Chains A and B, each alone.
Chain A
């Protein structure tokens, strides 16, 4: 599972296995842009997709997915998964708008952190499979929010600061949301490559037993990773509420599966232990651009679903294949 290339490349240029996903995903991003541009050239005679304005707009929209995927990646690297993202995100958004004022953002982040900590306690200390525990937490958060709002969209609005973070552009050009995404990305990169926590996350993903024997408090690491994932979902919820000026039922639902897809397309092994953050970044951009180009082409939902699934399989067939079982 964790067989990294130890054989030095002979002469000439050879891709390292960890670089391959990044290169291919980036190439596919260019292909999407080319196909989309070809389409708009044929139908409208212009190339809006290549304008910086359009690309920045996509990055702004993509930053919500990007933040979710950044948190989710930490959990996937452990070999676990966090299915509670949709309603953690929604709960954070709803509570942040409900509290309002200066405490809106801390409350939203706190909700995410809290859900993440409960997930971590269940997965690490009770040893419940993460798939099922986070699924249960998702149902509980959904239940709490349905009970809280009566099943309707809450009437409360996002605070000015939330709207600023999600919508504003510095100098009218650079979206603030993109900067938030970059800050989260920088944090994740530092954690993964420069801290013992990051090394511990990779170690647990490869073989938790060995990590434990080498003195890592594996339960604590799992707890922290889930807490960070929850906090990331909470932050995405706060931003998304700011973007749409309010919270609404089911606002987190379209974020879970694309986030998993982005992480996996970026080359992170779904079984954990392997993957680079750069890949996740490119994966998010790929998913966002794919969605955007398909909606420019006015693709019906059915076609989108089929293309979406085909792209994931095709990308993984190129570089995400497992090794043969040889005993």
Chain B
């Protein structure tokens, strides 16, 4: 007895340590996609900052954050349907439509602006909800349903803005596209942003704070809810999720609605950033396609069930950082599309390496 107790006592720390090590390793493997994307982003971005003539200044950071924000949100939007093995080809169109709405409504008195912002967010979510209804109740494949709805949303956007134009509130536009100090100064908060306690944060670009808030207040609670877990379960095995009594339809509707919400927020920001609305069909298409690329670079599996919107944000940052680098290295503009394509192909082809590790050839097919 004593011996047994002794050995088990002695063994426990070792076992625990082993378990912890295994747990750490497993966690690393589970997030390998995100971590790889993060490493790629940090390498590219530090390289960019180090080579920029005005590198490591707040001005550059603000500019970069502004350029990356809309794509980051559209990529988050794309992630949610991809997690359940669907695809939303309408995210770019929803972004454009909400941007056009914003260019009409986000102006005037504070009450009018607040009303406009609420309408923008609501219409983004409504577009997503409509997608969800077509997919759930119409039982049409997401990729083709959203292909069709994206044409409809672009049509509405063209009705609202036949030619680029419109106007958004200038102070608001300035406040959300600069750093925290300017934000506070614009609205006369915290002694015009000069409050002592604010100084450590004053340099942070507002878009990054908004992005963090959206992740913390919307995405994280969503993934921890039953609906959010169901989205992952649908991506892994829809039949099994159904048999386990998970709310399949509710999760699908919620996923598309959330996608519309994120895309709408991206469109709202784009309108604030450019102070106008533009129903630009090629631009909408480019955002949609880039969002798919960002989702893949961020480690989310296109067959569903694993990944995270946070990874997609990193994927979007990687894509944007690549074009930042082109800018400072004076790559001939004519060659830029070629390099973008090659980088994308190389990044996704690296995934082919995992085939070498497979023991059973059948695992190739899913």
Chain A interface (Cβ < 8 Å from any Cβ of B)? 83, 122, 125-129, 131-133, 135-144, 146-147, 150-151, 208-209, 212-213, 218, 253, 257, 260-261, 264, 269-271, 300-310, 312-313, 316-317, 320-327
Find chain A residues with CB under 8 A from B334 CB.
Answer: 146-147, 150-151
Interface readout for B325-366 with A: 1 if CB under 8 Å, 0 if not? 000000000111111111011001101100100000110111
A143:B134 contact, CB within 8 angstroms: no
Is B51 located at the chain interface by the 8 A CB criterion?
no
Find chain A residues with CB under 8 A from B340 CB.
Answer: 139, 143
Find chain B residues with CB under 8 A from A143 CB.
Answer: 335-342
Is B293 located at the chain interface by the 8 A CB criterion?
yes
Given contacts A126-B352, A142-B341, contact A271 B141 (CB under 8 A): yes
Find chain B residues with CB under 8 A from A133 CB.
Answer: 345, 348-349
Interface size class of B (residues with CB under 8 A): 35 or more
Contact of A309 among B150, B342, B355, B362 (CB under 8 A): B150
B151:A321 contact, CB within 8 angstroms: no
B139:A322 contact, CB within 8 angstroms: yes
Is B143 located at the chain interface by the 8 A CB criterion?
yes
Find chain B residues with CB under 8 A from A136 CB.
Answer: 293, 341-342, 344-345, 348
8 Å CB contacts to A: which residues of B141-163? Answer: 141, 143-145, 147-152, 154-159, 162
**Which of chain B's residues has its CB closest to A209's CB?**
B365
Is B121 located at the chain interface by the 8 A CB criterion?
no
**Closest approach, in angstroms, between the C-beta of B7 and any C-beta of chain A?**
47
**Closest approach, in angstroms, between the C-beta of B326 and any C-beta of chain A?**
12
- A307–B152 alpha-carbon span in the complex (Å): 7
A306:B156 contact, CB within 8 angstroms: yes
A317:B138 contact, CB within 8 angstroms: yes
- A37–B55 alpha-carbon span in the complex (Å): 65
- A137–B340 alpha-carbon span in the complex (Å): 10
8 Å CB contacts to A: which residues of B134-192? Answer: 134, 138-141, 143-145, 147-152, 154-159, 162
B152:A309 contact, CB within 8 angstroms: yes
Given contacts A140-B338, A306-B151, A324-B139, contact A132 B239 (CB under 8 A): no
Is B243 located at the chain interface by the 8 A CB criterion?
yes
**Closest approach, in angstroms, between the C-beta of A20 and any C-beta of chain B?**
15
B338:A122 contact, CB within 8 angstroms: no
- A316–B141 alpha-carbon span in the complex (Å): 10
**Closest approach, in angstroms, between the C-beta of A102 and any C-beta of chain B?**
30
Q: List 10 other contacts, CB 8 Å, given A128-B352, A313-B149.
A: A127-B351, A128-B351, A129-B302, A136-B341, A140-B338, A270-B143, A305-B154, A309-B155, A322-B139, A326-B239
Find chain B residues with CB under 8 A from A302 CB.
Answer: 154-159, 162
A325:B352 contact, CB within 8 angstroms: no
Find chain A residues with CB under 8 A from B289 CB.
Answer: 83, 135
Find chain A residues with CB under 8 A from B366 CB.
Answer: 209
Find chain A residues with CB under 8 A from B282 CB.
Answer: 253
Contact of B147 among A151, A261, A269, A324 (CB under 8 A): A261
**Which of chain B's residues has its CB closest to A303's CB?**
B155
Is B24 located at the chain interface by the 8 A CB criterion?
no
**Closest approach, in angstroms, between the C-beta of A24 and any C-beta of chain B?**
15
